[in-house]
Chains A and B, each alone.
Chain A
Amino acid sequence: MLEIKNLHAQVEDGGKSIINGIDLTINKGEVHAIMGPNGSGKSSLSNVIAGHEGYEVTDGQLYFEGEDIGELDIDERAAKGIFLAFQYPVEIPGVSNQFFMQTALNSIREKKGLEPLSVVEFNQLLKKKMELLHMPEELLNRSVNVGFSGGEKKRNDVFQMAVLEPKLAILDETDSGLDIDALRAVADGINSQRSADRSFLVITHYQRLLDYVKPDFVHVLYQGKIVRSGTAELALELEENGYNSIAQ
């Protein structure tokens, strides 16, 4: 699904080098977790995969389903099936959630050469997904993330994922800022989207999200490099000993 080879990246305009040689392969249906201390490059990695223009890839390759996506724009990568759930979902005043999702879905369909969904078809799809994720209907008419609580914003991102049905979902610290109930709700949402065809890259500081969303593999990122990889057990070890043990 996703293959990262010797990836090096820096902040654009000759900024600091942030990703310093990452190799990672995520196969279909796998859930990978990336953990690491603050400033280790976790969010940068997710942004580089999504195609954020503020980062410059200085070396290495990114392959998605066998295709080199290094030169693709953000929206082209999204159309290929890469989805990024944001650490801080962005507010877009004046654009309703429903209209936003319809525009997004139809943009992706257009890039795939599919006919746009009619309003009726789209509304049916939306209703189905809302029921699945127990989303309140009033959320649809509200502006994207405006006036949403932290938990609502994260759930809204998961909802968007459910509608867009990506092949790879990158969850960038989706658990940050959530209380226990909100965390459980978001995790339930994520789990409802797990399938044999969909892969996940879950980025987190803490092990607690991984109690709910069980990863197949855990990687530790430190100073822009994966310094250790293992199974879910590794997350427990980190929780106990801290990141310093790895750094040493």
Chain B
Amino acid sequence: MVNTLTKPQALLSLEDYYLSLLEEEKGILSSSIATQAKKRLKQYGLPTNRHEEWKYTSLDNLYKAKPLLNNEAKINYGNENLPLKHTADMIIVSVAKQTIIGNVPTGLSIDFTNNNQAIEQFNARFNEVLPEDPMLSLNQALCHRVITVNITKNTVIEAPIVIDYGNDGASSFQTQNAILKSVQVVVSLEQSAQATLLECHRNLTGEKELSIIACAFNLAQNAQCQHYSVSNQQMENQHFWYGYGSVGRDAHLQSNSLVAGEQLARRFFCNDLNGEGAEVTVNSAYQAKETQTLDIRTFTRHLKPNCQSMQLHQGLLDDRSTGVFNGMIYVDPVALKTDGQMDNNVMLLTPQAQNNSKPQLEIYADDVKCSHGFTCGSIDKNQLYYMRSRGIPEALARKQILKAFIARVTENFPSYINV
């Protein structure tokens, strides 16, 4: 049971709220997943800052959110505000509307039903990795949308598959609570398949929103998946994203994310390199201001020989914001010739901004190449001087330096994405 002795009142009240919500509301995942999730939430409750994983990311101000009601008739928005230059040749999947716009080519299937084995498998895997995570448990217990994307063997999908998390559920939502958006996405690429997946996190309601997304990538042998994630969410948003990648032999998963705007965000990406020669790239740019807390976490497991993982996380922290990075590269005893790199670079723009970084390596194999690094500094005065000595005004010089800092990640975005 939840230990109530040392918790702040705010957390206890939140726990009460969510435990009773779980009695009232039901998600659409199988009852075994949901029941387990409920049990875990009851057992572990919400963490205080004494919990190692939640030391710098407080849940004290978590919204008391209710699931978005499934009233499709009142959803009347289009693709116009997506952060995309054009959408003509894209496959746009609306999570709220459960619709697909664009031509779905042969070899690609997109499904909104919840009864498939892939979902069971990846939730089981997540439960092993994050058994105590309350947000993941909430997602599983109250999940109200599931999207399964499958690409068959040798199929190359040229058009980007856009997952649009936008909703305007306000009209169907009459209480003062925030909206809970709880979604699971499973992307499976069969042997030698290729696809690009773009996640657009957006809130069109203007209401407070708590979104919890769990997203799985299953890459079979030689498959290639490009994943991008962008958000144009407002400060009213709280956002939790849990990613899991299973990357097979000679397969390549490449992920680039831009995290900004949310009042509170955590992105956790776990990748298992399950086949020899597998490659994973996980990059993120996080930009925080005011009192935002942005928290980036990765857990990369090298389980087979000759795999490569590359990570670059660029943080830009202004005002009194907080950045958190926690990354772990685990190298199994059999994973010889592993090449793992993880870098976290942070620029603090005020003395009040803070970043807490913990890059870690756990290596059980000989003959591996692994590195992890963290840098933290303020804007380089010499760069400013150099630019200004060429006639560029200070404000513009500053802006360009910051843009360039973030561009180390955002330059990987295809040109059709506005960043």
Contact = CB atoms under 8 A, between A and B. Distances in A.
A84 B389 contact: yes
Closest 10 pairs between A and B when the two form their complex, measured CB to CB: A94-B404, A78-B391, A104-B390, A90-B386, A108-B391, A74-B388, A75-B388, A94-B407, A107-B391, A95-B404
B391 A164 contact: yes
Interface in A213-236: none
Interface stretch (B227-235, B322-330, B393-401): B393-401
B387 interface: yes
A103 B386 contact: no
A101 B386 CA distance: 12
A160 interface: yes
A126 interface: no
Q: Which of B393, B408, B411 has the most CB of A within 10 A?
A: B393
Contact of B408 (A53, A73, A94): A94
A92 interface: yes
A217 B28 CA distance: 85
Interface string A90-132: 1111110000110111011001000000000000000000000
B403 A103 contact: no
Contacts of A93: 404-405, 408
Contacts of B396: 103, 107
Give the residue among B396, B404, B405 with the most A Cβ atoms within 10 A. Answer: B404
SS class of chain B's interface: helix, strand, loop or mixed?
helix
B408 to A, nearest CB: 6
Contact of B401 (A50, A53, A89, A92): A92
Contacts of A104: 387, 390-392
B383 interface: yes
Interface in B333-389: 380, 382-383, 385-389
B390 A94 contact: no
A124 to B, nearest CB: 20
A31 interface: no
B397 to A, nearest CB: 8
17 contacts: A50-B389, A75-B393, A75-B397, A78-B389, A78-B390, A83-B389, A90-B383, A90-B386, A92-B400, A94-B407, A100-B387, A100-B390, A104-B392, A105-B391, A107-B391, A107-B393, A143-B404
A160 B404 CA distance: 20
Contacts of B400: 92, 95, 103
A146 to B, nearest CB: 10
Contact of A92 (B386, B388, B391, B394): B386
A52 interface: yes
Given A52-B385, A107-B396, A94 B391 contact: no
A79 interface: yes
Nearest to B394: A75
A86 interface: yes
A74, A86, A143 interface centre (most CB from chain B within 10 Å)? A74
B366 to A, nearest CB: 33
Interface string A132-144: 0000000000010
Contacts of A90: 380, 382-383, 385-386
Contacts of A86: 386, 389
Interface residues of A, number: 30
Nearest to A166: B391
A124 B388 CA distance: 24
Given A74-B385, A74-B388, A92 B404 contact: yes
A100 B405 CA distance: 15
Interface in A58-87: 73-75, 78-79, 83-84, 86
Contacts of A74: 385, 388-389
A52 B404 CA distance: 23
Contacts of B407: 94
Given A94-B405, A95-B401, A103-B396, A75 B391 contact: yes
A162 to B, nearest CB: 13
Given A79-B391, A107-B392, 17 more contacts: A73-B388, A74-B389, A75-B391, A75-B393, A78-B390, A90-B380, A92-B383, A92-B400, A92-B401, A93-B405, A94-B407, A100-B390, A103-B396, A104-B391, A104-B392, A143-B404, A160-B390
B48 to A, nearest CB: 39
A52 B387 CA distance: 12
Nearest to A99: B400
Interface string B242-258: 00000000000000000
A73 B394 contact: yes
Contacts of B382: 90
Contacts of B391: 75, 78-79, 104-105, 107-108, 111, 164
Interface in B196-252: none
Interface string A142-164: 01000000000000000010001
A79 B383 CA distance: 18
Nearest to A111: B391
A103 B400 CA distance: 10
Given A90-B382, A90-B383, A92-B387, A75 B404 contact: no
A79 B396 CA distance: 15
A58 to B, nearest CB: 21
